[in-house]
């Protein structure tokens, strides 16, 4: 039996067969916004590439066997040299399940790169000196492997800034859509 050809989304007005959107789920392409399906596919691919990058970069810095979330939690705990509460970390990272953040914090504590402190009933987390050292090494590797590879100029940096702004706007739209779907 010959292999099935992947289904293509229908061409929209003004599109040729060659200009069809590149999507992961043709059945979700809307005639009102094929671009949203293209964006979602790009987000999936970019998100997975970013997660792979942060894990490999931290591994190169000497801290191995972490998940992408573990690395990002360590970076956030180190952010602005202020201790953070579990709820604040989850809120800023837009992670609904605080158990995931808590698991990462416990793992990072076990590795000696994060420490907790208690002030009354409140527990906060901050990096240890070893944690700061790994983050510093991560930054050095990031500069050498990623930032220098960009050969960023002012126009590219402007585009990246605009993309970051657009991602923040779209995250709000997805959050609102999630609330709407949850109420159905």
The phi and psi torsions of 127 (rounded to 5 degrees) equal -80, 150
Contact 147, 160 (CB under 8 A): no
Q: State the pairing for strand pair 122-127/84-85.
A: antiparallel
Mean pLDDT over all residues of the chain?
90
Kindly report, residue by residue over 76-112, the tens digit of the pLDDT: 999 999 999 999 999 999 999 999 999 999 999 999 9
- Give CA–CA dist 165/167, Å, rounded: 5
Query: Average pLDDT for residues 162-179, to the nearest whole number?
Result: 95
Q: What pLDDT was estimated at residue 2?
A: 52
Specify the pTM.
0.84
Question: How would residue 25 be classed by pLDDT, with cut points 50, 70 and 90?
Answer: confident
State the Cα–Cα distance between residues 30 and 98, nearest whole angstrom. Answer: 34
CA distances from 162 to 43, 155, 158, 175 (A): 15, 11, 6, 20
């Amino acid at each position: 039996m010959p292999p099935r050809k992947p289904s293509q989304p229908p061409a929209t007005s003004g599109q040729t067969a060659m200009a069809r959107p590149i999507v992961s789920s043709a059945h979700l392409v809307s005639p009102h916004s094929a671009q949203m399906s293209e964006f979602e596919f790009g987000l999936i691919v970019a998100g997975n590439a970013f997660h792979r990058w942060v894990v490999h970069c931290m591994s190169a810095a000497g801290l191995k066997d972490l998940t992408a979330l573990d690395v990002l939690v360590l970076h956030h705990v180190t952010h602005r040299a202020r201790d953070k509460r579990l709820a604040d970390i989850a809120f800023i990272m837009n992670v609904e399940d605080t158990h995931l953040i808590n698991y990462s914090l416990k793992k990072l504590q076990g590795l000696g790169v994060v420490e907790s402190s208690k002030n009354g009933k409140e527990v906060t987390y901050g990096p240890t000196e070893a944690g700061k050292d790994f983050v510093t090494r991560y930054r050095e590797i990031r500069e050498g492997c990623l930032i220098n590879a960009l050969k960023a100029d002012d126009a590219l940096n402007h585009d990246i800034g605009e993309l970051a702004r657009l991602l923040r706007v779209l995250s709000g739209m997805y959050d609102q859509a999630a609330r709407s779907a949850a109420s159905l």
